[in-house]
Chain A
Amino acid sequence: MMGWRRRLAAGALFLLTLAATPVLADDRALSELLAPLCAGASAERVAAVDRLLDAVETGAAEPAWALRALEAVGGRRLVCAEGGVFITSGTGVIDAVTSAPGLADAVKAQGAFVDLRLRPYLDMGSAVLRLLASPGGPASGAALGELQKRAKIVPPGLIERAAAEPANAALAPGLRDVMAVAALNDPDPALRIAAIGRLAEAPSERNRTLLRDLSGDAALTSDPVVAAALADGITRIERWLTLGQVAASVYSGLSYASILFVAALGLAVIFGLMGVINLAQGELIMIGAYATFLVQEALKSVLPGLVDYYLLLAIPFAFAASGAVGIAMEVTVIRHLYRRPLMTLLATWAISLLLINLVRVTFGTQNLQFNVPPFLNGGTHVFADFIVTWNRLFAIGFALAVLAAALVVLRRTSLGMYIRAVTENRDMAGCVGVSARRIDLTAFGIGSGLAGVAGLALSPIYTVNPAMGVNFIVDAFMVVVLGGVGSIAGTAAAALGVGMINVTIEPMFGAVAAKVIVLLLIIVFIQFRPEGLFAVKGRR
């Protein structure tokens, strides 16, 4: 805390002398500002960052110029050569101070390593300078997030200037929170209570720890008013935190449920409606993920502009790829085995072995690189440490869409009716003119296609390699059997149930126990209700 007070005094003094004419320091002084950033022990480089920020605060240096320098240090592109300080970039070299093109051979040199002590200061400096250099710019949200994390080391003067910028109006409340952290130790109790109140409005684990540290400090809590404000602030935060924790577990339960549902849906169609036990369902999911990868690669080379939307563009391809493999499976092997469910089990196991090794031989075994589209990257802070990550939200939304589509196809369309007819009574359906063969093919194609689409939905979350399908198959079967064979809604309900139970048990007993307990619960449930939750009515 001492570092901050000392700097405040120095800044104020400096301002007094130059109050009248904010003049830009000359090039030599600027170069001296940057030189210590090039190399040396991280302690000196941290001090150098402080000095650079002070220079900006006093108007001696331009925010944009300082920002470029700090980002260069972070990317190891700031290099000190005999001619001065240079910034290298992929294309060439420029003088860090005058931006004039510099010596060509400096391009190869790499700036000094940035260790974990220096990096926070660089990140904080870049964040606050970005708010000054381009107020209200695209990256200002992320910059605010960074400043909230670094509240203790942010120079208050710059924060006030950033908050004062009209373009940063949207970020003002957040910036004032950051200032509140600084004000916590303000001698004037009124300011301190206001700061405490402000922190209590933004409940997070970090703010609670800040307040708890304060309540430990006897000098502050001697004043009853402050002590009361502190206690009240902490309780309010804790109430929000528990709420946030509940929301977080419901959200992760929902996201795990959507993963289970999407993986199990194809199986619900194939096993549920067709009675075909498909142990290769996991591999159809893998093929969908590989198809998505191929679409991404194709877009990269053909239409780089659209590469960010590869997930949406790849839906038909993933559906078609897995659907085609599914139909090929059905025509060559499954067709002979409709009357022999146990042999289908062994046949599909052999096919899954075949698919894994075919992909292994062609694509190799390394994990595929998906560059996750920007709108799926990271997450957003909802309230009290409850973070919604975009890729899981995409999976949840995707699962709901696929559920709706499947229900519509099966309940509302004639194809759906035929499929259910063939399932109910294969011979009777044949008698009334429904060509069972054609329906088998289409249903199998749809079931496999759904698995392909599941692969697409799972690619942002799971790593994609030939053997990725293996960890879905047992869970998917359990969800289908629990949900009631042949009922899509049952599969959805079962996935939701398993997802929620899994998430509540995991923190208590750990990941392994959660999986074991859930499986045992399902096995016991099946004993008493073999037909599952949503048993299809009628005599079996």
Chain B
Amino acid sequence: MDRRDFLKNSAALGAALAAPAIITSRAKAADSLKLGCLFSSSGTMANIEGRMNAVVQMAAAELNAKGGVLGKQVEVLVTDPSSDWPLYAQLGRQLLLQDKCSALFGCWTSVSRKSVLPVVEQNNGLLYYPLHFEGEENSKNVVYLNSPPASSVLPALDYLMGPEGGDAKRFYMLGSDYVWPRTINKICKGYWQSKGFSESAWREQYVPLGFSNFQTIVNDIRKFASEPGGQPIIVLTTVGSSIPDFFKEIINQGIGATDIPVLGLDVLEADLEGLDTAPMVGHLNCWAYLQNAVAPANDAFKANWKGFVEKSNLAYSPTTVIDPMVSAYDGVHMWAKAVEKAGMADPDAVRAASAGISFDCPSGYTIKMTGENNYVSRGVFIGSVNDKQAFDILWQSKDTPTPVPFSPYA
């Protein structure tokens, strides 16, 4: 082991261990307000989550076109956590500490939010979370742009249990096995108990993420449906590729919305992309925005998105617009308004300034934040699948019900 070998080895080792230092010196743009994006463009969530980066960039472009925020240009830093939950936390830390982002827009599944939560709380960052979710959380470092169950599940249940929806009496809960479906089902059971239903009125079944062979389960659903006790419905909380797989199986086994209506709580226009929806007509979902919402702001937003996709020739469909995209779009504009009102981009100031901020969302509602919690009050739509791979608006709330972070039925 002569001296030359020693020097060569320690040099190689030093260079290697120093690598992490160099990777953090990303180009520091001129004085600009930076927004960090944490949406996966690879892995299981790529299909629906990837397009969220584009909509945040579109919103930022709109702000910059109007002279930016506080006179500074808004720069969007896009990363790819590739559906790997620890990587969300790691890249979140990178965006906050190294790139000094003023706010983060990110996460789709609850597990990705839960992994970024400690990062924003420890480093006092601000995460704008665009998805409707299970609630039961109110962190001062997260802005919940979409509705908890009280205004994203119960209205649809009321409709289906009412005369209009075929007065459902029995419920088959089928979900992917993770915290959002489990909490939603727990709240539904509490709600049904409060309405006087007994335990025998429902059945609960969970499948692993990415599950695709629903043959045995649909057999089980058909057996459940034909047992006595009144009209059955399916409360579907599966996510990702399990949604089209499930619908393919019930279509093939001849089950339509008139036999057993399906309330798909995570079913979006994007999930219908690969399906012939004629046999699915009548199934329901419940979001804070639907592509067919009738509002001038919606037409403007859809035209903007079509132009943006074609201009930067993205691989996403220019005509499909989904609720989380609109929520993220609203989030960027509400963040900008809060920064203008606060006069600075520091997270504490922005949070304080957010109280009372409102924004006319493409859904046609004026959404607003009250000071009492970090939730945004959103409108409620119940959609019914039509034969053009989109949802007709079956019912929508008169105004934006106040969000209920912690459900009484949990």
Contacts and interface: CB of A to CB of B under 8 A. Distances in A.
Given A145-B254, A256-B213, 4 more contacts: A360-B42, A370-B274, A379-B252, A466-B46
In this complex, the member of B212, B273, B317 whose beta carbon has the largest number of chain A beta carbons within 10 angstroms is B212
A205 B47 contact: no
A144 B213 CA distance: 29
A116 B164 contact: yes
11 contacts: A75-B387, A113-B393, A116-B160, A117-B165, A119-B282, A145-B254, A256-B215, A361-B315, A369-B274, A391-B252, A461-B248
Contact of A511 (B211, B273, B275): B211
A115 B226 contact: no
Given A116-B282, A205-B226, A378 B270 contact: no
A89 interface: no
Interface stretch (A163-171, A335-343, A382-390): A382-390
Range of interface residues on chain B? 35 or more
Contacts of A389: 215, 249, 252-253
Contacts of A468: 241
Contacts of B317: 366
Contacts of A113: 384, 392-394
A465 B282 contact: no
Given A360-B42, A467-B43, A511-B208, A206 B217 contact: no
Given A379-B253, A463-B241, A149 B42 contact: no
Nearest 5 CB-CB pairings of A with B: A367-B274, A205-B226, A364-B315, A389-B252, A365-B47
Contacts of A387: 253-254
A377 B122 CA distance: 54
Contacts of A470: 210
A498 interface: no
Given A252-B215, A364-B315, A366-B274, A463 B245 contact: yes
Contact of B50 (A365, A368, A390, A511): A365
Contacts of A114: 282
Contacts of B251: 377-378
- Interface centre among B213, B251, B393, by most chain A C-beta atoms within 10 angstroms, is B213
Nearest to B273: A366
Given A115-B164, A119-B258, A378-B252, A364 B223 contact: no
A123 B219 CA distance: 24
A92 B172 CA distance: 43
A18 B47 CA distance: 64
Nearest to A256: B213
Interface residues of A, number: 66
B258 A377 contact: no
B171 to A, nearest CB: 15
Interface string A258-273: 0100000000000000
A370 B252 CA distance: 14
A366 B43 contact: no
Contacts of B253: 379, 387, 389
Interface centre among B166, B252, B315 (most CB of A within 10 A): B252
A390 B384 CA distance: 27
Interface stretch (A54-62, A275-283, A405-413, A502-510): A502-510
Interface string A465-489: 1111011000000000000000000
B227 interface: yes
Given A205-B226, A206-B226, A511-B217, A116 B165 contact: yes
Contact of B208 (A117, A119, A213, A512): A512
A515 B245 contact: no
Contacts of B208: 511-512, 515
Interface of A: 42-43, 75-76, 113-117, 119-120, 123, 145, 149, 204-206, 208-209, 212-213, 248-249, 252, 255-256, 259, 357, 360-361, 364-372, 377-379, 381, 385, 387, 389-392, 461-468, 470-471, 503, 506-507, 510-512, 515
A213 B212 contact: no
Contacts of A75: 387
Dominant secondary structure at the B interface: loop
B377 to A, nearest CB: 26
Nearest to A472: B212
A357 B43 CA distance: 10
Interface of B: 41-44, 46-47, 50, 160, 163-166, 177, 205-208, 210-213, 215-217, 219-220, 222-223, 226-228, 241, 244-245, 248-249, 251-254, 257-259, 261, 270, 273-276, 282, 315-317, 384, 387, 392-394
Contacts of B166: 116-117
Contacts of B257: 116, 119
Contact of A123 (B42, B44, B241, B258): B258
Nearest to B213: A256
A391 B215 CA distance: 12
A510 B214 CA distance: 11
A465 B392 CA distance: 27
Contact of A366 (B206, B270, B393): B270
A298 to B, nearest CB: 18
A291 B244 CA distance: 21
